[in-house]
Chain A
Amino acid sequence: MRFLLTLWLSKLAAFFVHLVKRNRGTISSGWLATRLMPDFVAHFRGIDCDKVVFITGTNGKSTTTNMVYRTLLSAGRTAACNTEGANMMTGVATVLIKNSTWGGRFNREFLVLEADERSLPGIRRVLPGRHVAVTNLEKDQDQRNGDPDLIYRKLEGAVGPDVTLYLNNEEPRSSALAQRAGQAVFFSVAENDRAFAWHDSYAVTLPCPLCGHPIRFERHNLAGIGPFRCTRCGHASGSAPQVLLTDVDYDAGTFRCGGRQFSVSYTDPFYLYNFALVMAVGRNLGLTEDELAAAFRAFENPVSHDQVFHLRGKEIRYLQGKQENPEALQSELDVIARDPRRKAVAVGMYKVTDFQPHYAGSFYFFDCDFAAIAQGDVAAYVAFSETVCYDLAARMIYAGAPEDKVTALDTDDPGPVLELLEKTDAPVIYILTNTKHFGLISDYILTHGGTRDA
């Protein structure tokens, strides 16, 4: 009875919050429910744990969660999902409140949940879904996570023999979780045009999660992701992953898997691994190749990040990357480096304000490779944002950017940044900021005569 009272109260709260402010309070009902009843989620009826999918990991959680969810819908299944990215217990509770009857019965077939890596053990204790997909485990939010091993140990405690794990065959840390699961399904991407070897004398890899000795990569499909082998214990990427994407054609937007060609709208290396993961999960959930192919063709990412503007004859390509997350930032830096045109490059990373105390660390930028950009045709570099701009500028210079081309602007105001960039002779301007400040630059451009591509 306590559960039903909590559920009713939460449903009413969700209704009234929605009435008052349609865009606010997305997780307020779940917050209320879990405060009133910490194990609230455990009491729903009608959830088939064989049809519950958790998606966790450092990078790609939101995108792949959306992809799995949309693929199921596209295939005619019913599913619920925390697409808003509320990926802790309150977010899970909110999804269940929204997708259940007043009697507490879950009213969808599948439940697809993005799960914060640290929250997953607690969530699985009350909702023991049997499918757990791990996109990757990499450096992220050091102020909260310290080091990736801390997250690895948390996930070790979240999986057991009852779990089917979906793991990136080429990511050394998460793939080591296979030994904890009842079944492990590996997804993989074959060597392709954008694979690279890292021969920089400052390049580093990582310690083996099983024995602590150095990991060596044969190549990288993404930074830190590629065929690998531990120098000591034999932990290595497998030679026969269950899902392998081959024959990647970036220009045509196609790849092959299981003897069939798939057409997709997003084909950078990051998305290829996402498609591979969705393929692995989808097959295990009983989707056909036709259903997967149709969903892949139609997929549009609602959380797609990059935007193109035009301002007084300049093309401005505006990228956002997760601050404190070197691999995610590297993907964006790679986009800049791949553009052969003459360009101006601005990077705005900010004081870290996700948790207390706020601090001015920007060391994650030194975990990225900026040299590939510095080797290109760059007219000017601008490092901006209060306090940390000088450290960003130093990173650029250490990567080989000429000091006389680097300007540090100790401001969060986009005005001086754009004014400086517009003065260069580069037809293309790249601006990379963190996610939190992403809107500031676009607002400035649009209110100063710029237009945005659809």
Chain B
Amino acid sequence: MHKLTIGWMYPDLLNLHGERGSVQALVRAAENLGLEAQVRRVEEPEGEIPLDELDLLLYLPGEIRTLAMLREALRPQEEKLKQYVEQGGTVVAIGTAGLLFGKETLRRDGSRVEGLGLLDLTAAERELVWGDDLHVLLTDTKQELVGCQISMADVETPTPLGRTLYGRGNNGAGAEGARYRNLIYTNCLGPLFVKNPWFAEAILKDIVLHKLGVEQKRPNALADKSFDTTVRFIETKK
């Protein structure tokens, strides 16, 4: 069986909104593709990220204050991370974790949190949190994502991941998430990959096709039903 290593980035720091479930869902999605997935927890912010050994870096939502600390901690390996992304390495950032990869986040107190600048994205912390369902059409694959979002910041980007069919997305204007090469940012929670295992499989397929050329898929009935009922509920709100 082919092996895949998922880097779960800073699990004790980035773990809001139940998104640790996405780690489990990635493992299951890998199994559906006939792969053996290994999760490697990358714990220490100042520790060197073993980029050569990781097939995917998964950043889950965290507190904006934590992102500021992480940005500073990552400064010594900023170039390596950039190189990883430029060479097609896969990074998925969910919720506020996406701000870490943007250029800058303006906080309510007027301070600015610098990002890694790998995404052409700026953000402004919201005065009030916005939580709602989210239904998204992905630009590249035309896949649909469904879930919800807890928005702490409004985001501006010229390179969205998709457009909203329902929900606020980046800032209420129709754009959702951001993408640069295989660096993917989405606001969609659920956990993301539990509710949208097809998205997890698509990401993993990109990795394994690039690496191994494997493809297999089993249906996920529970997630299909979850998708249908959530979309039906969203339709009642339009």
Contact = CB atoms under 8 A, between A and B. Distances in A.
Contacts of A149: 63-66
Contact of B230 (A147, A358, A387): A387
A395 B230 CA distance: 16
A438 interface: no
Residue among A148, A390, A395, A410 facing the most chain B CB atoms (10 A cut-off): A390
Q: Which range holds the interface residue count of chain A?
A: 35 or more
B200 interface: no
A287 interface: no
A386 to B, nearest CB: 8
Contacts of A202: 20, 23-24
B40 to A, nearest CB: 10
A143 B129 contact: yes
Contacts of B85: none
A366 interface: yes
B191 A410 contact: no
A314 interface: no
A93 B147 CA distance: 40
Interface in B88-103: 96
B39 to A, nearest CB: 7
Interface in B6-34: 10-13, 15-21, 23-25, 28
B20 A147 contact: no
B196 to A, nearest CB: 11
Given A146-B129, A351-B233, A394 B194 contact: yes
Contacts, number: 150
B21 A398 contact: yes
A146 B151 CA distance: 7
Nearest to A368: B18
Nearest to B13: A207
A215 B195 CA distance: 30
B4 interface: no
Residue among A150, A213, A361, A389 facing the most chain B CB atoms (10 A cut-off): A361
Interface string B141-168: 0000001101010000000000000000
Contact of B63 (A147, A367, A387, A394): A147
B69 interface: yes
Interface in A345-377: 351-352, 355, 357-361, 363-367
Interface string A165-204: 0000000000000000000000000000000000001101
B172 to A, nearest CB: 12
B189 A204 contact: no
Residue among A214, A351, A367, A391 facing the most chain B CB atoms (10 A cut-off): A391
Contacts of B83: none
B177 interface: no
Interface residues of B, number: 53
B192 to A, nearest CB: 9
Nearest to A403: B222
B211 interface: no
Contacts of A204: 11-12, 15, 20
A146 B237 contact: no
A143 B20 contact: no
B63 A207 contact: yes
Contact of A357 (B18, B132, B225): B132
Residue among A214, A360, A386, A408 facing the most chain B CB atoms (10 A cut-off): A360
Interface in A225-274: 231
Contact of B148 (A146, A359, A367, A390): A359
A397 interface: yes
B18 A364 contact: yes
Contacts of A231: 44
A207 B66 contact: yes
A201 B39 contact: yes
A366 B18 contact: yes
B62 interface: yes
A206 interface: yes
B12 A214 contact: yes
A390 B43 contact: no
Contact of A212 (B21, B61, B69): B69
B233 A395 contact: no
A391 B132 contact: no
B66 A398 contact: no
Interface in A376-427: 386-391, 393-395, 397-398, 408, 410
Contact of A147 (B16, B21, B25, B132): B16
Nearest to B152: A146
Contact of A366 (B10, B43, B62, B191): B191
Contacts of A326: 18
A201 B234 CA distance: 35
Contacts of B232: 387
Interface in A12-42: none
Interface of A: 139, 142-150, 201-202, 204-207, 211-216, 231, 326, 351-352, 355, 357-361, 363-367, 386-391, 393-395, 397-398, 408, 410
13 contacts: A150-B152, A202-B20, A202-B23, A207-B62, A207-B69, A212-B65, A360-B230, A361-B148, A361-B150, A363-B19, A387-B229, A387-B232, A391-B194
